[in-house]
Chain A
Amino acid sequence: MGPLVVNEIISPETNLLLAFIIGIAFGFVLEINGFSSTRRLAGMFYGYDTTVLKVFFTAAITGMIGILFLSLFGWLDLSLIYINPTFLWSAIGGGVIMGAGFILGGYCPGTSFCAAAIGKLDAMAFIGGIFIGIFIFAEGYPLWEGFYKAKDLGSPLMNDLIGTSRGVMTLMIIVVALAMFWVGEWAEKKFARADYKINQR
């Protein structure tokens, strides 16, 4: 049955429409959960609010379990799933630049649009910065093309690297996630700030 577009159950246009609706829902959920607050996002780096870690780890394990169960029931053909290829050096370089921007600006690209939607001026400045970055990257592309395309690993999967099944890998990540949640909650107590209350609005 799935993936719906590849199997022509829905058209690519319908796919875009669904993506639009899901995207709006995603932004809405981010916003009502305080992800447009720079203090909440920066708290991840200082340890006083680890909501970001908990939310995205929960999303990852929910997605993993969902996909594997859909495949188990024969509703989704995993061999047709698009897996983003890994270019090792640009992934590391991009991660460092993105992390630096995250801690400096207090947003990640998605949450900056979320915060701009409720009228935060610093988020709009952040978006301006994103476009400056895009412009520099595009205009200077010949300079970093070699780095950008270096170390193409194809689409490796972690479970193949350590030689286990997808299901066992998922269980291991669930255990790691729960351990990280526990560490996160410990950090929130350890690095708590007098002027910041978790889940404040």
Chain B
Amino acid sequence: MKALHILALAIVPLGIIIAAVPENTTRPYKLTADELLIEVTEGRQFMAPDEIAQMLVDKDPSLQLIDVRGADEFEKFSLPGAINIPLENLLSAGFEDVLNQDIKLNVFYSNSSNDANQAWMIARQLGFKNNYVLRGGLNYWAETILKPEKPAEGSPNEELAKYNFRMGASQALGGGTETAAAGTAPMSAAPPVIQKIKKKKTAAGGC
């Protein structure tokens, strides 16, 4: 038998099989359950309200806030520059470009951390990078940034600095103006410096 015939006998049936079966479009899960459990227990997905507030005040272009609540709640109140992706629409084809990218820093938020965490977990399992969760959600945001509690007399300087920053951020971001107007905060104190967490960069794909 000639080589050509042997080749044809081997390769034509394989070609017929691959033409007949449906294409496999499922993405294999990126993380094992163990790996995901480690990330969850360490809380690596969380970003503190102060970090986000600092980025908003700085008008950091890399920040993309994503509101996963319903559209009606989003219209009543949302953080500056946030876009609305209700949790049930998370997997709509139109939003994949937003979630699956490696340029911006996506931060999910909802009223508490729950819905945002679920959105993060789905995105993480799909292998999408640069997705994070606002720790404590909007409730904690309101407590810490919009209506910060004045630390007790004699608190360490860091506490006061944090408070001052929060008051400033609160004014800049349009919340809690009446507390600021009371002018109890020593605004002349040194401007607070929020340490930005350096986000770990993973190797990009490609050739």
Query: A residues engaging B (CB < 8 A)?
Result: 1, 3, 5-8, 12, 58, 61-62, 65, 68-69, 71-75, 77-80, 82, 84, 165-168, 170-171, 174-175, 178, 181-182, 185
Contact = CB atoms under 8 A, between A and B. Distances in A.
A69 B205 contact: no
A79 B4 CA distance: 33
B26 interface: yes
Contacts of A168: 19
B16 interface: yes
Interface in B3-40: 4, 7-8, 11-12, 14-16, 18-21, 23-24, 26-28, 30
* Most chain A beta carbons < 10 A, residue from B15, B16, B127: B15
Contact of A3 (B7, B11, B205): B205
B23 A182 contact: no
Interface string B88-100: 0000000000000
* Most chain B beta carbons < 10 A, residue from A72, A175, A182: A72
Contact of B18 (A1, A65, A78): A65
State the 9 A-B residue pairs at the shortest beta-carbon distance, nearest first. Answer: A171-B19, A6-B205, A174-B15, A171-B15, A82-B207, A167-B19, A167-B18, A168-B19, A68-B18
B165 to A, nearest CB: 37
Given A1-B28, A65-B11, A71-B24, 17 more contacts: A3-B205, A6-B205, A8-B203, A69-B14, A71-B23, A72-B23, A72-B24, A74-B28, A77-B27, A82-B207, A165-B23, A167-B23, A171-B16, A171-B19, A174-B12, A174-B15, A181-B7
B140 to A, nearest CB: 33
Contact of A165 (B19, B26, B206): B19
Taking residues whose C-beta sits less than 8 angstroms from the other chain, chain B's interface range is 20 to 34
A186 B2 CA distance: 14
A7 B30 contact: yes
